[in-house]
Each structure stands twice: as structure tokens, then as C-alpha cells.
Chain A
Amino acid sequence: MINNILSLLIWLPIIAGLFILFYKKDDKILNIFNISINLIVFILSILLLNNYDQNSSNFQFVENIDWIPSLNIYYFLGVDAISVLLIFLNTIIFLLVSLYNSTLNLKKRNQYYSSFLLANGLTIGVFSALDAILFYIFFEALLIPMFLIIGIWGGVNRIYASIKFFVYTFLGSILLLIAFLYINSSISSFSVLSFYDTSFSIVEQEWLFIAMAIAFAIKIPMFPFHTWLPDAHVEAPTSGSVVLAAILLKVGAYGFIRYVLPVVPLGASSLDIFFIILSLIAIVYVGLVAITQDDMKKLIAYSSISHMGFVTLGFFLIFKLFDNTNTNSDIVVSLSGSMYQIISHGFVSAALFICVGSIYDRYKTKKISDLSGLLNQMPVYSWFFVFFALANCGLPGTSSFVGELLIILASFKTSFIYAFLASSTLIISAVYSLWLVKRVIYGELKAGLENSIDANFLEKTILFVLALIILILGIYPDYLMSYMNMTLQNITNNIIIKI
């Protein structure tokens, strides 16, 4: 069972999701079923986390089954530390989301749950696929449940947002497919491992890099490709936004570290300056844009973009780092920073979206200008909100600080300007997060916001768990760091042997 735990992780939720479509009678049973499935998946992922041997650098729990040998496509699964951690993030977020969902009153509850279960399984598939086409298939298929979630249960402009989301990401990913096909046409294999052994000419690598990077840059999203995210977030239902921010953006980042950097390092290194600049723009400019948003979800969406800017910055600094100091230690630092940022942002943004969502459930508004002084009405929520806002602006002791510190450190080693711009996030993020807090949480309670109940037990638990994780990750980061270390070393070696 432990040998094909990955298949179990992928297919259990998917099958459960399809099964749940045919049952629509009793909500309570639906809740219990949904939560228990997610719980089982979560427990499985804990098993994965424990049984993974962090001292070996190669892929583990490998399953390699003939699927379409005539097209060299194999059902090839396997995980290294980053996949394991992302799968863990995924399962825990989906568990919390399923808990949160059971508090809502929904139309078409069974379809809602089934889309989430499908998304859960498919995401795990994305993180554990080692065959490019398999990855691509999961990557694409993941769009469908999200599309339905946003489109069916979304807000007023849901159709616009969902179509934009679907078509935009599809546009990106289809170039990815071409890139994969091209690689396959020269090495006649789709396995990631053989991707790592390829050696293309620099021009080829540049083109491949562009094709793949656009796909993932749209997914993350990076600066010029980011406009779908705020719309999607604003229109999506709360749980949808949570999944979108906590998981789907990570898929893009994962794509970078798994399929772009080690496969076409030369192309990446010759074009990295653009991506560094874009990341810095994302950090500074998008952060600035976030400040005056009046819609809380939009604000958090923009802040997510600027945080993901840190991730991409960490990814693309590595080549300059390598040029400066021909050691791979700095590269590992930078990559660890990015990975840590990915994971931490997963929790922080999820928590913030849950807070906003619960405010929305109570007051039916996400507009900052309609809210004020919630602290008087619902203290528990408000304190959690304040905490997560502080976490969002990278307060030391919370998880977000670690990643930012490491990435600023790495960026300083490449150039002072990068470090300066990157660290300006300390100010900008503080401005948008705390100004939000000032306007929404503090102050006198606005008239008409009375008679709303504070967090119920379930919501308290969810928020508390998230807060706890964020604190632990902030106070004792070394666990994850050492967990990822071997893998990142390995990836770094894969990169630098080619440049």
C-alpha cells in the first residue's frame, strides 16, 4: 500500500468525487463523507511525509506503468521533497476547506464537493507526475473543476472571470504542450529524468524556455500576465479563492522548479534578467496597486501576486548567483527561500481568504468602504484577521518572514538594487495589510454592521490551526529547510552541470 500511495492519493478523491455526484439527498451525510475523504487523504499524505527518506536525493514512491508506450507516455509517478511538501500543503488546505464548506449553505452541494474532491486529486497528480504529458494532463484537467467552481458558485461577474481564467491559462499551457512535444521529438521520451539529461543548443533552449515559462508565468501569475487572478478571486466563492491562492498558484511555481529551470537552464540563464525585472515589478508595482483596492479579495489577490513575485525572483536569481560565486550553496539558499515562500504563502493567503469569506458571509460585502470597527462586533475573527495581516506583511516569527529574508539575502548577493527593491516589500506590504486592518477591524463599528455572530467553533478551529502552522513555520523553519535540502541540492546540481 505504501508503494503505490501516490496513486491512492490521486485516485481516492477523484473517484469519491465522481461517486458523490450521484447522491444529493442529505446534506449532513454529504458533509461527513466529504470531510472523511479529505481526512483520509490528509492522513495518507502524512504517511507520505513520514515515510519519505529526506536524506536521499532521488525520486521516491516511484510508480512506472506502461500507459501509452506507442507515444512514449507512461503512468510515471514519484515524489521528491518539494512534491511531498506541496502535496502535504494541498491535502491540509483541502481538509480545512472541506471543514469550512460544511458550515456554508450551498446550492448543488454534492456537485460543489465533487468539484473540490476532483481538484484535490488532480492537484496531487500534478505534484507527483514525473511524465511530462501526464503532468500536462493533470495540469489541464485541473482547470475544469476550478472553472466550474468559479462559474457556478461565483459572484456576479462569475462567467467573465471563469472564462477569462480558463481561456487564459489554457492559452499558456498549450504552448507548454508544444514545448514538451518538441523535447520528445528529439529525445523520444517524456520522462522528467530524461528531460534533465537533455542538452539542447542555446537557441532551442531559449525558445523552449519562453514557451514553458509563459505557461507557468500565467499560472503563478507573473506581472504582465496577472490580471486574471484578481477577477477570478473576486468572483470565486471563498473556498474557491482559498484553493486558487493556496494551491493553484503553487502549481505554476512547481512547474518552474521542476520543468523549466533544470531542463532548459541555458535558455533561462540567458533570459533571466527579464524575469528578474518582472518579479521585481511584481513585488513593487503590484504591491503598490494593492494599496488602494477597495475590494478586500482583490487586495489580497494583488498581495498574492506580489508575494509570488518573491518566489519567481528566488528562482531566477540563481544564474546570476552562480556567475558571481561558482558555488551552489547560494543557489540552494535562494531556492529554499522560494520554496519556503511558496508554502508559507499557501497558508497565509488561505487564512486571509477564509477570514474575508466569513466576513462576506455575515455582511454580504467585501468592500472595505462598507466595513469598519469589526473588532467591536466579532473580536475572535478580528484578532485572527490582524494576526494573518501581520503574517502577510512578513513579520518575523511568522512563516512569511523566512522566505523573504532568504530571497533578499540571495538578491543582495547578485545586486544591491535587487535587494533594495525586494526589501521595499517590508514597507509596501505593511502599508496594504495594516491599512486594511485599520479600516476594517479598528475604529468605531459602522452602523448596520451590528447583529452578526462571531466565529463558531469550526471556524475558530480552522483559523487556529492555520495560525498555529504559520507560527510554527516561522519559529522553527529548520525542519522544512533540512527536509528540502537534499532535493534542492539535487536540483541545483541538475541545473549547474548544464551551465
Chain B
Amino acid sequence: MTFNNAFLSLSNFIPEIFLFSMAMVVLLIGITNPLKKYVVSLTIGSTLIALFLCFWGYTEETVFMFNTSLIKDNATEFFKILCYGIFLIQIIVSQKYLKNKNLISGEFYSLLIFALIGCLIIISSNNLIVLFLGIELSSLSLYSLIALNRTSLISGEAAIKYFVLSIIASALILFGFSYLYGITNSLVINEISTYLLSNEISNLYLFSYILIFIGVAFKFAVAPFHMWLPDVYEGAPLPITNFIASIPKIAFFVFAYRFLNDNQILFEDNFSKFILYLGIFSIFIGNMYALAQKKIMRMLAYSGVANSGFIFLAIFTSIDFNFSVAAFYVITYTITTVSAISIITFISSNKFDLVYIKDFKGLSSKSGLVSILFMITLLSTAGIPLTIGFYAKYLVLDALVNQNMIIIAVIVVLFTVIGLYYYLRVIWFMFFETGFNSLIKVNGIYYLAVLSIIPFSIIAIFLFPEFAFNYLFSILA
């Protein structure tokens, strides 16, 4: 029985296990000089295989593994596949950049894979211990990845800041866990949720949830727990930023989903208001800070803060919807950010690092395609029609209006207008100004093809969104 269970669990856990072992392999061949050059291809290959395995092992019904400490259902599989895909794009695009910064090494990629696995574990965990381990696995590897570029001052600084603050966050989460454990005598998440069916919400329960979600807010970089984000964006090597901006967000969205899905706490007024106002505040802070930024990455970071605020609003609206709105927003935001940062990575993978917004001057005359891709990405982030960003914002607003929170909807919308301004600023530098830095070379059809995947899908999904909505609705029902 137990063996059977263990076997089943293992069989369902193959992709992660494979990836894990490949990470070791990558680490090993990284230190052996002749094989060093295969690191990248090996990483890509193993990720592809893992992705394939994930598809192969896909099953409709929900499976609990390692006696309910891990869960595998449509949602987890979907988000895992998404993570794999994003991860692939990131490592493919980042090669040239890393080569220039000579960061390509076994440990780099193995750490990256470990971070990915951490996130995958967060996604599929159903037990607080496993969840904690997943969080720590990803964050530990990310600390070291950020600091990996030993020569630069700022990356060290970014690392230390991220390190300290995110440990505070984990500690808060753990604190919340401990109380939950105390109340429910269980470390299994859905047991914790179902606990409320028999008993009503105690203040301690509420507090622990708030502690946990402050931790989540930190991971999403929702104001006022956002300060680490811009520094990390600026300090870390771009591929790492790319990773931090995307995959952990998805993971922590699933985390939030696990904790809130069919959980009465969501209807507790204090809690939902907490989420709501945190979100609004974050939108305010994010946009206000982003407006004055001179550096592109910091601007993106603050726009990320604003978007995380939107994500929280979306989570709030899950009161009478299910989480599909939030999920859609998270996915939209993640892939647009990935696209944006990947394009920046691609552009600055030469002698010249693209740091300031004004460095985009006259990009369009250099390469029309890249600038158009970047424009699409930015417009999507701003939520202009013809991009899925519009639907993301639209759904949130729709939900708000349906809950008769029109004032809040209007306020939020006005902040998006501020947001629009700083995205347009980048666009105008790309298209309206002239004189692009000659050090920058934008070529390589192979890269351009990869880069254009996301923007085109952005447009495509805008034109035919129905299936996406239905799919999300079904998996998160």
C-alpha cells in the first residue's frame, strides 16, 4: 500500500526528479573544462525533456502524492507547463548576454534549475513543510544567483537586501504557519481550509492568514512590502531579474490560490478589505514611483509593483468569481514582463548595457521589429486594446463594477492613465527620437524568432480570447 502510494507518487513526480538530477549533472559538467560548453544546451535540453514528461504524465484527475504532501491537478500542471515555457524562453534569450558577462557556468544553470524546481514544488505542494522547503529552495538559489556576479558592487548589494528582506518575509509566513498549525493541528493545506467548515473564524486564524499574506505580498512586491524589487531588478543580472519577475510570481499565485480557494476566510470582511486596500495602495505607489524613474529596469520594477496591486485586486474579486480573473491577470502580467525583460536582455547583450530609458533613442530606426515587439509588450502592460493586457485590466474592472465598487474602479483607472504615460515615454524614445547607440547590435534571426513568440501570442490571444477564458475557468473551478 505504502509502497504503491510511493511508487505512484514517484511516477507522478518524474519531471521534477529528472530536472533535479539534470541540475546535478549540469553542475558536474560545469566544473569539467572540456564539457563546459555543453552546459547551456544541456539545460535547454533537459528542460525540454521535463516539459515533455510533464505533458506525458498529464492526467485529468487530481492526484495526492507522498500522502497528501504534494498535489497534482489541472491547475498545477498548467502552471508548471507555463513555468517551463517561460524558463525556456528566458534561458534561450539570455545566452548571449551571459556570454558577454561571462557568467555562463555549471553552478549558474544548476542554481537556476534549482530555483525553478523550488517554484514547481511551491506550485504542487499541499503541505506546509513542503511548501516552506519549496519557498526556501527557490529563494536560496536566487540569493546566490543575484550575488553571482562578484565583480559588480550593486549585485552584491541587491543580494544582501533581497536576502535579508525575503528572510523576514519567510519568517512572517512561518509565523503564520505556526499559528495555523496551532489552531488546526494540521500542516495540510486543504485540511486547514476545511477546518473552517466546522469552526468559525477565530482572530488568531485571521491573524495568521494576514501574516501569511503579508509574506505573499512581499513575494509579489505589493506596496509597502515592495522595496526590494526595484533594487533587485537593477542589481541582479538581467536573466535573474527575468526569472524573479516571472516564475516565483506564478508560484506564489498558486500558493495564494491554494490557501484561499474554497476557504471561508475570503468572505471575512477584514481579510478581504486588507487585500483590497493593499492592492489599491500598491497601484498608487507603483505608478507614482515609476513615473519619475530614469532607469528602465527600475521603471519596470515599479510598474510591476502596480501590477501586483492589480493582482491583489483580482484576488479580492475572487470573492464572487473564482480565481480565473486573478490567474488571467497573473499570466498576462508574467508573460508581458518576461517579454519586456527578454527584449532588454537581448538588446543589452553587447558591449553596451541598456540602463537608462533614454538609451532606447531611435531603436525603431535600428530595428523596426524589435521596437514594435517592445511597443506591443508595453502597451499590453498598460492595458491598451489589441493586447491581452486590456482584458486583464478589463476583467478586474468588470469584477469591481459588478461588486458596485465603482469609485474604486475609477480611482484605479485613473492611476492606469498615469501608468500609460511612462510606458508611452519609452515608446516615444524608441520611435520619435533619433540617434541610437552604435555599440548596440540587434540581429540574430534565431533570437528574434524566440522574442516574437510572446508579443504575437499577446495579439493572438487578444483576438481569440474565448478559449483561454474557458480553459482557466475550467481548471480553477
Contacts and interface: CB of A to CB of B under 8 A. Distances in A.
A-side interface mostly? helix
Interface string A54-70: 00000000000011111
20 contacts: A67-B466, A68-B465, A70-B469, A70-B473, A71-B398, A71-B469, A141-B384, A143-B384, A151-B428, A159-B432, A163-B428, A166-B424, A167-B424, A171-B414, A174-B413, A174-B417, A175-B413, A177-B397, A178-B413, A181-B397
A140 B417 contact: no
Contacts of B368: 21, 111
Contact of A136 (B385, B421, B432): B385
A195 to B, nearest CB: 16
A137 interface: yes
Contact of A141 (B385, B420, B432): B385
A152 B417 contact: no
Given A68-B466, A71-B398, A136-B385, A144 B417 contact: no
Contact of A152 (B395, B431, B473): B431
Most central of B390, B425, B428, B469 by chain A CB within 10 Å: B428
Contacts, number: 85
A170 B413 contact: no
B394 interface: yes
A159 B379 CA distance: 17
Nearest to B379: A144
A292 to B, nearest CB: 31
A158 B397 contact: no
Interface string B422-434: 0011001001110
B409 interface: yes
Interface in B379-420: 379, 384-386, 390, 394-395, 397-398, 401-402, 406, 409-410, 413-414, 416-417, 420
Contact of A178 (B385, B406, B428, B470): B406
Interface of B: 368, 379, 384-386, 390, 394-395, 397-398, 401-402, 406, 409-410, 413-414, 416-417, 420-421, 424-425, 428, 431-433, 465-466, 469-470, 473
Nearest to A143: B384
Nearest to B386: A141
Among all A-B residue pairs, the 6 with the closest Cβ atoms: A137-B385, A181-B401, A140-B385, A151-B432, A174-B413, A185-B402
A137 B386 contact: yes
Contacts of A185: 398, 401-402
Nearest to B432: A151
Given A137-B385, A163-B424, 5 more contacts: A67-B466, A69-B466, A71-B398, A141-B384, A159-B433
Contacts of B390: 137, 140
A295 B466 CA distance: 50
B454 to A, nearest CB: 18
A167 B466 contact: no
A211 to B, nearest CB: 9
A165 B299 CA distance: 23
B253 to A, nearest CB: 21
Nearest to A174: B413
A383 interface: no
Contacts of A69: 466
Contacts of A360: none
A137 to B, nearest CB: 4
Contacts of B402: 181, 185
Nearest to B428: A159
Contact-residue bracket for chain A: 20 to 34
B26 to A, nearest CB: 40
Contacts of B406: 178, 182
A162 interface: yes
Nearest to A134: B385
A143 B410 CA distance: 21
A68 B424 contact: no
A321 interface: no
A41 interface: no
Contacts of A181: 397-398, 401-402, 409
Contacts of B394: 71, 177
Contacts of B385: 136-137, 140-141
A393 interface: no
A390 B93 CA distance: 61
Interface in A194-239: none
Contacts of B425: 163
Interface string A70-82: 1100000000000
A184 B397 CA distance: 12
Given A68-B465, A148-B431, A175-B410, A163 B421 contact: yes
B429 to A, nearest CB: 9
Nearest to A166: B424
Contacts of A148: 431
B37 to A, nearest CB: 36
Given A140-B385, A141-B385, A177 B466 contact: no
A171 B417 contact: yes
Contacts of B413: 174-175, 177-178
Nearest to B324: A70
Contacts of B417: 167, 170-171, 174
Interface string A147-179: 110011000001100110011001100110110
Contacts of B398: 71, 181, 184-185
Contact of B466 (A70, A152, A162): A70
A260 to B, nearest CB: 18
A141 B462 CA distance: 12
Given A144-B384, A163-B421, A178 B466 contact: no
A215 to B, nearest CB: 12
A167 B424 CA distance: 9
A15 to B, nearest CB: 12
Contacts of A170: 384, 417, 420
Nearest to B382: A170
B111 to A, nearest CB: 41
B261 to A, nearest CB: 20
A171 B420 CA distance: 10
B432 A158 contact: yes
Nearest to B397: A181
- In this complex, the member of B398, B409, B416, B433 whose beta carbon has the largest number of chain A beta carbons within 10 angstroms is B398
A136 B397 CA distance: 15
B428 A140 contact: no
A194 B469 CA distance: 24
B469 A68 contact: yes
A158 B425 CA distance: 13
Nearest to B387: A141
Contacts of B466: 66-70
Contacts of A158: 432
B190 to A, nearest CB: 28
A177 B413 CA distance: 10
Contact of A174 (B416, B424, B428): B416
Contact of B420 (A21, A137, A152, A167): A167
Contacts of A159: 428, 432-433
Contacts of A136: 385
A177 B406 CA distance: 12
A229 B385 CA distance: 23
Contact of A70 (B416, B428, B470): B470
Given A66-B466, A144-B379, A144-B386, A178 B409 contact: yes
A178 to B, nearest CB: 6
Nearest to A211: B410
A109 to B, nearest CB: 13
A163 B427 CA distance: 10
